A and B are shown apart, each in its own frame.
Chain A
Amino acid sequence: MTFETFSTGSSILHRLDVRTKLLAALLLIGVLAVSTSFPAAAGGLATGAALVLGAGLDRQAVIKRLLLVNGFVLFLWITLPLSYPGTPLFSFGPVPLSREGILLALLITIKTNGAVLIMVALIATSTVSDLGHGLSRLKIPDVFCMLLLFSYRYLSVIHQEYQRLQRAARLRCFQARTSIHTYRTYGYLFGMTLVKSHHRAERVRKAMVLRGFDGRFYSLNTSTIGSRDIGFAAVAIVLTATMLVLEWRFA
C-alpha cells in the first residue's frame, strides 16, 4: 500500500509550509465544490492542472489517480442522462437522454477532476506526518490529528496481519467458495484481525505511556510561514476570487 506517491520532490509546492497548502486547498476546493456554472468549474480545473504541472509530478501517476476517480464518475454518466428530468436531446432506442442530465454529468466531471488535481498538487505533496502536525498547528483538535497519524502508521501493520491470517488459511487448502464454510472462515478472519488490532492498540498505548505520553502531542516540526508562503497564499486568493466572479457572472 502506498500513500505518499507524490510527497517527494523539490518544487515550490513541496517546499511550502503545509498550513499554507491546507488553507489554499480549502479555499479553492470550497469554492469549486459549490460553483454551478461551467466557466467557474473550468477555472477550477485549469487551476488544478496548472498546480499539478507546477509541482512537477509524475504525469503517469497523476493520470492513474484521475482514472481511478473517473471510474466513479462513470456511474453518473450512466444514470444521470437517463434519470434527470429535462428536454430529451436524443433517444437511445425507447429511452430518451435528457440534455440537462448530460450537462450536469459534465459539470460534475469537471468539478471532480479539478478538485482531485488541486488535492494532488496541494495535499499529496506533503507527507502524512507533516499533514498531521500541520493540522494540529491549525488548531484542529489533537484527536483528529492522532487519528490521521495512527491510521497511516498502523494501516499497513493491520493489513499485513490480515494477509498473514489469510495466507495461513490458504496454506491449509482453504479456497473461497459460495458456502457456509467460506463465509464462516472470512468471518473468523475479519473478527480475528479486529481482535488483533485491538490488542495491538492496547500495546502501542502502553508503550507510549511508558515513554511519558499524557495525551498531548509535541512536534519536532518548527517550520515557519515565510515570504514564499505569503506569495502563494496571495495567488490562491486571487484564483479563488476569479472563480467567485465567474460564478457570479454566469450562474
Chain B
Amino acid sequence: MSAHPIIELQGLTFAYESGNTPVLDHIDLVQCERQRTGLIGPNGCGKTTLFHCMMGLLTPQSGTIHFKGSRVTEKSDFTMLRRDIGMLFQDADDQLFSPTVIEDVAFGPLNLGAGPESARTTAQQTLDKLGLRHLENRVTHHLSGGEKKLVSLATILAMKPGTLFLDEPTNNLDPGTRERLIDIITGLDLGYMIISHDYDFLAATCTDLAGMERGTIVPVEKSALHTHHHIHPHGTHPHEHHDH
C-alpha cells in the first residue's frame, strides 16, 4: 500500500450475544487514504456490523481498531474518527430526521461547532455541489426515495469528511438516480468503502474489492470488477462479460 492507512483492523471479533457464533470472526482489514474499496458478500455475513464496529456504534469483544495510526478505544477517540469518516445508512429515513432539508444538512456542521450562519452557508454549498439546492426548504419526509438518498449523502458531505462508508447506497434507486449517484461519488476527492450487491455499481466506483463470508474477509479477484457474471435487470438471458 502506498498511501497512509486511515483505518486498520486486527483480529476484530464481534458477537451480538457472547457465546453465540460471532458475526465478525477475526477480521483483518486496512483502508487507506483515497482508497476506493467495494465490499461484497451475502446477506447477513456481517458487512453492516463491520461498519458499525469501525464507527464505534458497536463494541467488539476482541481485536483492535487503529485510526490514522493510533489505537481507538475511548468514546473521545471515536468522536475524532467520526469527524473524519462519514457513514451513509442503508435507509435514508434513518438519516434524515429534521423537518426540513436545510436543517438536516446543517445538523452536522452545527454539532461540529459552526455558528448558525456558517452552518447554513456550508449546507447550501453542499446542496449546490450535488445539484440539490432546489430542495433546500422541502420537508424531508415528503421527498422521493432518490431525493432522500442524495440529501442524506449531502448531510454527510457537509461535515467535510476524508473518507466515506456507504452501506448499500443503490438499494431501491431508479436507474437515473443510480447514475447520478455514480457521477457524484466518482467526482468526490475522497476515499470510500462501499457495501453493495450491485457489481456494476462497484465496477463504476471502486478500484479495490473485498469479499465477506460468514464473518470473515475473503479475497476477491480484482478483475472480478470487470469480468463477472451478472443478470441484466431488463435482459431475458443471463450472460457473461469479458470486456477488459
Q: Does B79 contact A (CB under 8 A)?
A: yes
- Taken together as a complex, chains A and B put the C-alpha atoms of A214 and B112 apart, in Å, by 10
With A153-B140, A203-B91, A220-B110 as known contacts, state yes or no: A127 contacts B116, CB within 8 Å. Answer: no
Give 1 or 0 for each of B100-133: 1 = CB within 8 Å of chain A CB: 1011001110111000110110000000000000
- The residue of chain B having its C-beta at the shortest distance from the C-beta of A149 within the complex is B99
Report B65 CB to chain A, min CB distance, Å.
15
Q: Does A128 contact B (CB under 8 A)?
A: yes
Could you say which of B94, B97, B102, B108 contacts A212, with CB atoms under 8 Å apart?
A: B108
Do the beta carbons of B98 and A211 come within 8 Å of each other?
no
A182-233 interface with B by 8 A CB criterion: 200, 203-204, 206-214, 218-222
Q: Which of the listed residues B83, B98, B120, B159 has the most CB atoms from chain A within 10 Å of its own CB?
A: B98
Do the beta carbons of B103 and A211 come within 8 Å of each other?
no
With A129-B100, A156-B141, A211-B155 as known contacts, state yes or no: A203 contacts B89, CB within 8 Å. Answer: yes
Report B81 CB to chain A, min CB distance, Å.
10
With A210-B82, A212-B111, A212-B159 as known contacts, state yes or no: A157 contacts B93, CB within 8 Å. Answer: yes
Do the beta carbons of A212 and B52 come within 8 Å of each other?
no
Do the beta carbons of B99 and A204 come within 8 Å of each other?
no
With A213-B111, A218-B111 as known contacts, state yes or no: A207 contacts B141, CB within 8 Å. Answer: no
Report A16 CB to chain B, min CB distance, Å.
19
Do the beta carbons of A214 and B111 come within 8 Å of each other?
yes
Report A124 CB to chain B, min CB distance, Å.
15
Report B84 CB to chain A, min CB distance, Å.
12
Do the beta carbons of B99 and A207 come within 8 Å of each other?
no
The A interface, classified by DSSP as helix, strand, loop or mixed, is helix
Do the beta carbons of A207 and B100 come within 8 Å of each other?
no
Do the beta carbons of A204 and B116 come within 8 Å of each other?
no
- The residue of chain B having its C-beta at the shortest distance from the C-beta of A156 within the complex is B141
Do the beta carbons of B99 and A152 come within 8 Å of each other?
yes
Q: Does B64 contact A (CB under 8 A)?
A: no
Chain A, interface residues (CB within 8 Å), range: 20 to 34
- Taken together as a complex, chains A and B put the C-alpha atoms of A127 and B102 apart, in Å, by 15
Number of B residues near A (Cβ < 8 Å) is 34
With A153-B141, A204-B94 as known contacts, state yes or no: A129 contacts B99, CB within 8 Å. Answer: yes
- Taken together as a complex, chains A and B put the C-alpha atoms of A207 and B100 apart, in Å, by 17
Q: Does B59 contact A (CB under 8 A)?
A: no
Q: Does A150 contact B (CB under 8 A)?
A: yes
With A203-B91, A214-B111, A219-B116 as known contacts, state yes or no: A209 contacts B97, CB within 8 Å. Answer: no
Could you say which of B55, B99, B117 contacts A153, with CB atoms under 8 Å apart?
A: B99
Could you say which of B52, B119, B141 contacts A220, with CB atoms under 8 Å apart?
A: B119
- Taken together as a complex, chains A and B put the C-alpha atoms of A211 and B153 apart, in Å, by 12
- Taken together as a complex, chains A and B put the C-alpha atoms of A128 and B98 apart, in Å, by 11
Residues on A with C-beta less than 8 A from B140 are 153
Q: Does B7 contact A (CB under 8 A)?
A: no
- Taken together as a complex, chains A and B put the C-alpha atoms of A67 and B89 apart, in Å, by 43
Residues on A with C-beta less than 8 A from B110 are 218-220
Q: Does B87 contact A (CB under 8 A)?
A: yes
Report B154 CB to chain A, min CB distance, Å.
12
- Taken together as a complex, chains A and B put the C-alpha atoms of A153 and B82 apart, in Å, by 25
- The residue of chain B having its C-beta at the shortest distance from the C-beta of A214 within the complex is B111
**18 residue pairs A–B, Cβ–Cβ below 8 Å:** A153-B141, A154-B97, A200-B93, A203-B89, A203-B94, A206-B57, A209-B57, A210-B57, A210-B82, A211-B107, A212-B82, A214-B111, A218-B111, A219-B116, A220-B102, A220-B110, A220-B116, A222-B116
Closest A-B pairs by Cβ, 10 of them: A212-B111, A129-B99, A218-B110, A203-B94, A211-B108, A207-B95, A206-B57, A220-B116, A207-B94, A222-B116
| Chain B interfacial positions (CB closer than 8 Å to A) | 52, 55, 57, 79, 82-83, 86-87, 89, 91, 93-95, 97-100, 102-103, 106-108, 110-112, 116-117, 119-120, 140-141, 155-156, 159
Given contacts A132-B99, A212-B108, A218-B111, 20 further A-B contacts (CB under 8 A): A153-B140, A153-B141, A200-B94, A203-B89, A204-B95, A207-B89, A207-B97, A208-B107, A209-B82, A210-B57, A210-B82, A211-B82, A211-B108, A211-B111, A212-B79, A212-B159, A220-B110, A220-B116, A220-B120, A221-B116
